Amino acid sequence: MNQLTIGGFFNEGIKIGLRNAAALIVNGILWVLTIWIPYLNVGTTIGMFSIAAKMARAEGISMTEIFNPQYRKFMGEFFLVMAFFMIGMYTGIIFLIIPGYVIAIAWSLAPLLVVDRGMDPIEAIKKSNELTYGHKWVIFGGMTLLYIAVVIAAGILIGIGNAIHPYIGLIFTLAAVVLIVPIMIGAQAYIYKTLTANG
C-alpha cells in the first residue's frame, strides 16, 4: 500500500510541480485573461481545479489544457460538490474552527474525483473522506511544511537578488511567485496519486 510521507511532499510534490510548471503558468495566465467570458470561464475554472489529476498520472498537460471541452461536461456536478464542500467547511468552522480544517482536508479530493472519475458529488465526498482517513495529519503537515519551506527559500532568493540589484530582486520575486503555485499544485497531485492508488 502506498503511503503519504512528509518527504514525499518535498520529493514528489516539488518534482511533479516543476515538471508541469510551464504548462501550469501558461494555463494560469490564460485563465486570468478569459475569466470574464461567460460559460467559457466555467470550463476553464473547472480545468484549473482539476489539472492536478492529470499531473498525478504523469499525463502531458497542454498549454491550453483548461480549454478542453470535457471540463464543461461536469459543470453541474462540479458546482454541487464545491457547494457541499464550502457548506461543510464553513459549518465546521463555526464549531471552533478546527473541524472546518478537518472537513476541508477530508473532502479535498472530491472535486478531482468528480471530474477525473465521473463520480456524483455525494459519492465523491464519501470517497474523498474514505481516502484521506488516517492521512489528515500528514496532509496538513506536508502541505504546511512545504509551503513554509518554499516561502523561506523564495525569501532568501529574493534577498540575494535585491542585494545584487533591485531589478534582479524583482525578477527573482516574479520567479518565486510563479513557481510557488505549481509546487503546491504538484503537492496536491502527489496526494491524489498516492491515495487513489490505494483505492
Q: Is residue 173 part of a domain?
A: yes
C-alpha cell at 29: 495566465
* Residue carrying C-alpha cell 471552533: 96
C-alpha cell at 74: 461536469
Span 103-127, average pLDDT: 94
Per-residue model confidence as pLDDT tens digits over 34-56? 988 888 889 999 999 889 999 99
If phi > 0 it is left, if psi is from -120 to 50 it is alpha, else beta; for residue 37 that is beta
Rounded to whole angstroms, how far apart are CA atoms 76 and 188? 23
Q: Is residue 144 part of a domain?
A: yes
Q: Is residue 83 part of a domain?
A: no
Q: Is residue 1 part of a domain?
A: no
For residue 3, pLDDT beyond 90: no
What pLDDT is recorded for position 96?
73
Rounded to whole angstroms, how far apart are CA atoms 87 and 94? 11
- pTM value is 0.90
Domain containing 62: what range? Answer: 6-74+131-197
Confidence label for 140 from pLDDT (cuts 50, 70 and 90): very high
Q: Is residue 41 part of a domain?
A: yes
Rounded to whole angstroms, how far apart are CA atoms 91 and 168? 45
Q: Which of 92, 45, 90, 52 is nearest to 67 (CA)?
A: 45
For residue 160, pLDDT beyond 90: no
Confidence label for 83 from pLDDT (cuts 50, 70 and 90): very high
What pLDDT is recorded for position 18?
92
What pLDDT is recorded for position 199?
62
Q: Is residue 126 part of a domain?
A: no
Rounded to whole angstroms, how far apart are CA atoms 54 and 42? 19
Q: Is residue 86 part of a domain?
A: no
* Number of domains making up the chain: 1
For residue 1, pLDDT beyond 70: no
What pLDDT is recorded for position 198?
63
